[in-house]
């Protein structure tokens, strides 16, 4: 990563090291990238839940082929976490499903993001671990990212939390925060009592730690704004930056393993691998487009080899910004094509959201300004700051580092 101003060769090593440490501990890196990841994954999961709402009982509920008793046996073996094992009643399933939808919406808009990220994780794990055979590959990515998002400060920009924090004047009293904190304590107590049926003790311990940390954060912010608050910010920044690095490494690992496994396949070696899924009825939502593409052997070969080359090469291009950005666009277009041609929109949306962690900061700032300007034209507000002035203010205050993500 590029940490702050590029050091000169004559600068002593200890000074460069001190600057790097200061950057890592004093700043939550990649605020726009983590915001896009938050929005992308919460949107992907929300759209999936809404699309499957009529079929929710068959997928994860009491009417599914994977019965509650079979789910209990599976959880007893793999110790996965799911609150759906607390009860086999339809009412409890409906409550969990509704909370999963609600937490996705609130995480998407960035309301009480620290709390919603935990509830989002609980919803994802509970539903996916209830029926592990329901998914298309994108569920695995959402599963992992739901864990990582808990440790990130993903509400620094493009969130209701950021808008509330940016209001001028002293911070108003927030009675809702302590009330929400107390309600979550009751939920954790219930989860602890049902530990034999929820599995994964470490996850419950993590949630208790996060709950306690949130209480300490509130106390420090309110009654000890000096060095204790600075220390809390340093710890939060370290956790955020570590989680961001893990997310980036996870994306690289996904593409590296996928690319190298493809190389070992004979159909990928002879350039015909893409042809076969285009002939399966399950993966042909648009038969005309599938037949048109499959009818050209040259196009099939180019796309097959191109997929392998892009996936294998991407992790090696991260330190060359221009090449990385070109491959990033190619991978996003590839996933858009998968969504259109193979009928896997949620898998593609999840992968595009994961890819977004490498988007350049300059592009994201530009995109945010354009979205804001379009929103203000559609929904003008009285007394709003002119778009040009607002964009200038954002550009002046944006000091996001040009890291690997930029």
Query: Of 253 and 3, which is predicted with more confidence?
Result: 253
The average pLDDT across 307-334 equals: 92
Please tell me which of 162-166, 226-230, 267-271 the model is most confident about, judged by mean pLDDT. 267-271
The average pLDDT across 61-73 equals: 85
Q: Three-state SS for 326? A: helix
Residue 18 pLDDT > 90? no
**Do 360 and 405 contact (CB within 8 A), yes or no?**
yes
* Sign of the torsion formed by the C-alpha atoms of 151, 156, 162 and 165: positive
| Three-state secondary structure readout of 204-251 | HHHHHHHHHHHHHHHHHHHHCCCHHHHHHHHHHHHHHHHHHHHHHHHH
Tens of pLDDT along 259-295? Answer: 999 999 899 999 999 999 988 888 888 989 989 998 8
Residue with tokens 């600068």: 11
Q: CA-to-CA distance for 257 and 260, rounded, in angstroms?
A: 5
Q: CA-to-CA distance for 275 and 259, rounded, in angstroms?
A: 18
Q: In angstroms, what CA-CA distances link 93 with 45, 242, 329? A: 17, 35, 40
Q: CA-to-CA distance for 194 and 70, rounded, in angstroms?
A: 18
Tally of CB atoms within 10 A around 73: 10
- For residue 72, the surrounding DSSP H or E stretch is helix 68-78
Q: CA-to-CA distance for 225 and 299, rounded, in angstroms?
A: 62
């Amino acid at each position: 990563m590029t940490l702050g101003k590029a050091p000169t060769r004559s600068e002593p090593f200890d000074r460069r090291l001190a600057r790097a440490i200061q950057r890592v501990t004093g700043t939550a890196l990649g605020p726009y990238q983590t915001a896009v990841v938050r929005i992308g994954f919460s949107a992907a999961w929300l759209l999936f839940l809404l699309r499957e709402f009529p079929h929710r009982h068959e997928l994860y509920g009491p009417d599914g082929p994977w019965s509650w008793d079979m789910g209990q046996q599976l959880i007893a073996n793999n110790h996965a976490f799911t609150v759906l094992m607390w009860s086999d009643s339809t009412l409890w399933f409906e409550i969990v499903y509704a909370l999963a939808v609600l937490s996705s919406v609130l995480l998407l808009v960035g309301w009480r993001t620290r709390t919603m990220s935990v509830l989002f994780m609980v919803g994802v794990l509970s539903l996916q671990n209830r029926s592990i055979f329901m998914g298309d590959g994108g569920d695995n990515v959402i599963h992992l990212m739901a864990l990582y998002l808990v440790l990130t400060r993903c509400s620094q920009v493009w969130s209701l939390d950021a808008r509330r924090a940016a209001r001028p004047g002293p911070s108003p009293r927030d009675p809702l925060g302590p009330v929400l904190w107390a309600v979550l304590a009751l939920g954790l107590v219930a989860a602890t009592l049902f530990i034999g049926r929820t599995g994964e003790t470490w996850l419950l311990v993590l949630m208790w730690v996060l709950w306690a940390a949130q209480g300490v954060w509130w106390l420090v912010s309110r009654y000890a704004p000096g060095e204790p608050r600075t220390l809390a910010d340093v710890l939060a920044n370290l956790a955020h930056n570590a989680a961001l690095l893990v997310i980036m490494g996870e994306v690289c690992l996904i593409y590296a393993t996928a690319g190298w496994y493809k190389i070992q396949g004979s159909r990928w070696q002879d350039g015909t691998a893409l042809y076969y899924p285009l002939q399966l009825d399950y993966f042909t939502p648009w038969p005309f487009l599938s037949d048109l593409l499959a009818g050209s052997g040259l196009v099939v070969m180019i796309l097959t080899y191109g997929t392998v080359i892009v996936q294998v090469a991407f992790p090696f291009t991260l330190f060359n910004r221009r090449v990385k950005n070109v491959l990033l666009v190619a991978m996003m277009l590839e996933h858009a094509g998968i969504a259109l041609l193979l009928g896997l929109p949620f898998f593609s949306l999840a992968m595009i959201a994961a890819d977004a962690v490498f988007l350049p900061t300059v592009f994201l700032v530009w995109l945010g300004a354009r979205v804001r300007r379009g929103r203000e034209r559609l929904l003008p507000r009285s007394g709003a700051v002119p778009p040009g002035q607002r964009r200038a203010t954002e550009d002046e205050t944006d000091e996001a580092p040009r890291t690997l993500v930029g």
